[in-house]
């Protein structure tokens, strides 16, 4: 199964909440990622249900006087 954290070909790996930081999985079964920190990766499916989550680090904005 191939998964992407944003639109394919958009050249971005972030959303409104922050920058993509990696994939995690939950469930009774565990699959294996080709690269869990890549925005687009392949997951080898386990023999059971698994829930994938694309994780994002929050943006931090700072005002600087010009």
State which residues form the domain around 14.
2-56
Q: Is the Cα dihedral 46, 47, 48, 49 positive or negative?
A: positive
Determine, yes or no, domain membership for 7: yes
Q: Mind listing the pLDDT tens digit for each residue in 6-22?
A: 544 444 455 555 678 88
Determine, yes or no, domain membership for 31: yes
pTM of the model: 0.59
pLDDT at 28: 78
pLDDT at 42: 87
Q: How far apart are CA 24 and CA 39, in angstroms?
A: 12
Contact 56, 15 (CB under 8 A): yes
pLDDT at 53: 87
Determine, yes or no, domain membership for 64: no
Q: Mind listing the pLDDT tens digit for each residue in 42-61?
A: 888 888 888 888 888 876 77
Domain count, the chain: 1
């Amino acid at each position: 199964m191939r998964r992407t954290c944003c639109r394919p070909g958009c050249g971005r790996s972030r959303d409104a909440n922050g920058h993509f930081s990696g994939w995690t999985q939950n469930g009774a079964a565990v699959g294996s990622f080709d690269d869990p920190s890549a925005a687009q990766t392949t997951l080898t499916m386990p023999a059971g249900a698994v829930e994938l989550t694309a994780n994002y680090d929050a943006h931090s904005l700072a005002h600087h006087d010009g």
